Copies of this chain bind each other. A is one copy, B any other.
Amino acid sequence: MRDGGGSCQERCSRLWRTLREVCDDEGVEKTSVPRTARQRARAEITGEIIAAARRQLAAEGAPSLSLRAVARDLGMVSSAVYRYVSSRDDLLTLLIVDAYDALGEAVELAEGRVGRGRLAARFAAACRAVREWALANPNEYALIYGSPVPGYVAPESTIGPASRVSAVLLQVLLDAVAADLLTPAADGDAIAPAAASALVPLRAVVPPELPPALLQRALLVWTALFGTVSFELFGQLHNVVAETPAARAAFFDECVRRWTAIVGIAVPAAPARRGQAGRTGR
């Protein structure tokens, strides 16, 4: 298991902690320090199973992930894996949680490196971190944001980790609201009543400083962000945006600039930063 964000206590957004409380009523399994040799071994081997599964996922993709291959990779007999994982679906769940956590952590770290007052830069860093993590881990990304595995139903334990990225983005918005740095869209920022009430589930979990119209803007950008990353990763930009990494990064940066404006965060004067998209600061 990756460490999953236990190390970012002070940086970790208030919002994420709130969401965590909401979602973590069950399934927290106290990971107290293991004592006996057996417990230690069990924890270690469980970790190795997940690591092997992740390797296989990265190499072959989710559809051809198999318990037998994982066992083979570890030099175990296939039935032995059942001491640690109750079924293939269970292993899938572990990987899904793991992927959400890895992405969430990457985004939190990237966004956390930017000065708190630089809201546009924080937003951009988060967006870029999503894309970069996805490019570096395409199969893990596809596992969580691609087509659902038929017959698999994600258990409750996935929804906490799944919300980490959104929590970061929303926290940026919250801070912008608090600092009064959000430019409301000139017109059309009134939201249809039906649309406002459609957002009830989200509003139940988000502070009231974020009014429906702002949430709507945020959701629009949220879906656009993942839509763009998915399109790039899934080959839909073929023959549309040039294939070179630089061109892809430039296209994405341009999207980020516009999303920033759409969501209402003031964009700094400099038109667009050139060169590597990997930089988060400056």
Interface of A is mostly: helix
In the assembled complex, which residues on chain B have CB atoms less than 8 Å from the CB atom of A202? 239-241
Among A192, A198, A241, chain B packs the most CB atoms within 10 A around the CB of A198
For the complex, is A195 an interface residue (Cβ under 8 Å from B)?
A: yes
Cβ-closest chain B residue relative to A228: B223
CB proximity of A266 to chain B, nearest CB, Å: 11
| Known pairs A195-B251, A198-B247 / 15 extra A-B pairs, C-beta < 8 Å | A61-B147, A63-B149, A148-B234, A188-B257, A197-B247, A202-B239, A216-B254, A216-B255, A217-B258, A219-B241, A220-B224, A223-B231, A226-B230, A226-B236, A227-B228
Listed A/B pairs (18) with beta-carbon separation below 8 Å: A63-B150, A147-B234, A148-B234, A186-B186, A188-B267, A192-B271, A192-B274, A194-B250, A197-B247, A199-B240, A201-B242, A219-B251, A220-B259, A223-B231, A224-B224, A226-B236, A227-B230, A227-B231
Binding site for B on A (CB under 8 A): 60-64, 139, 142-143, 145-150, 154, 159, 186-188, 190-192, 194-195, 197-202, 205, 216-217, 219-220, 223-228, 230-231, 234-236, 238-242, 246-248, 250-251, 253-255, 257-259, 261-262, 267, 271-272, 274
